[in-house]
Amino acid sequence: MFDKLDDLLIRFEELMSELSEPDVANNPERFRKLMKEQSDLTPIVEAYKEYKKSKQDIEDSLALLDEETDEDMKEAAAIAQATEFIDSKKDGYADSIAQGGTNVSGGQKQRLSIARAIAVRPKVYVFDDSFSALDFKTDAALRKALSARTKDASVIIVAQRISTIMNADQIILLNEGKVAGIGTHKELLKNCPEYLEIAKSQLSEAELAGEEV
């Protein structure tokens, strides 16, 4: 299983590198053509964070493959807790997004990235520090909605906040690039001193007891 996953993630990283080339990243047609050619990798794109062109609107920024329907995008935005700030924009989904997302906050940019991935309906999600700019209330609401949407998919999350991953089926704790512990939240609290130390610095008593947040 891990050999296959490693190979998949290596190919994913190579795809991300190719998509980052200026002549691809700034050309929506080439970007989407490349994504479609890598159809087996497309589903794991967490939301290619830096996808950009000189100017785009919110709707365009959510259309990773240019095949998503309006309903797909609005549902994805709702799950990603992005609906409120999109609706607050003067032109809603038609409101412009500056190159690189410089006219939205870090949390808003992350929510748009997450919505972009959700709209594709992938079989595998990879969230690489994708919740770090969210406040705890938004993070919790998003994770709850995302859990319902991804129940038939595989989800890989890289995070520094334990609250983001504490309900995962399996948690792998890394310390200086080495595996320090593997298990569920409750198992690691009992068997991994490094995890317990981090947990005590971040979580409430209820969360330390393993209660869902």
What does the pLDDT look like over 84-99, one tens digit per residue? 999 999 999 999 887 7
- Give the distance, in angstroms, between the CA of residue 66 and the centroid of all CA atoms in the same chain: 19
CA distance 53 to 50: 10
Count CB atoms within 10 A of the CB of residue 170: 10
**C-beta separation of 213 from 207 below 8 A:** yes
Using DSSP's 3-state secondary structure scheme, residue 211 falls into coil
What does the pLDDT look like over 35-85, one tens digit per residue? 556 555 554 444 444 444 445 788 887 876 666 788 888 999 999 999 999
* Structure confidence at residue 54 (pLDDT): 43
Q: What is the rounded average pLDDT of the residues 106-113?
A: 89
pTM exceeds 0.75, yes or no: no
Half-sphere exposure of 32 toward its Cβ, with a 13 Å CA cutoff? 13
CA distance 58 to 92: 8
**2-19 vs 28-37: helix crossing angle, rounded to 10:** 160
Q: What is the rounded average pLDDT of the residues 2-10?
A: 52
pLDDT band at 30 (very low <50, low <70, confident <90, very high): low
What does the pLDDT look like over 116-167, one tens digit per residue? 888 888 778 888 888 888 998 998 899 899 998 888 888 888 898 998 898 8
Q: What is the 3-state secondary structure (H, E, C) of 82-130?
A: CHHHHHCCCCHHHCEEEHHHCCCCHHHHHHHHHHHHHHCCCCEEEEECC
Give counts: helices (H), strands (E), the chain: 12, 6
User: Residue 151: which residues within 8 A CB-CB, separation 6 or more?
Assistant: none
Q: What is the rounded average pLDDT of the residues 28-39?
A: 58
User: Residue 78: which residues within 8 A CB-CB, separation 6 or more?
Assistant: 145
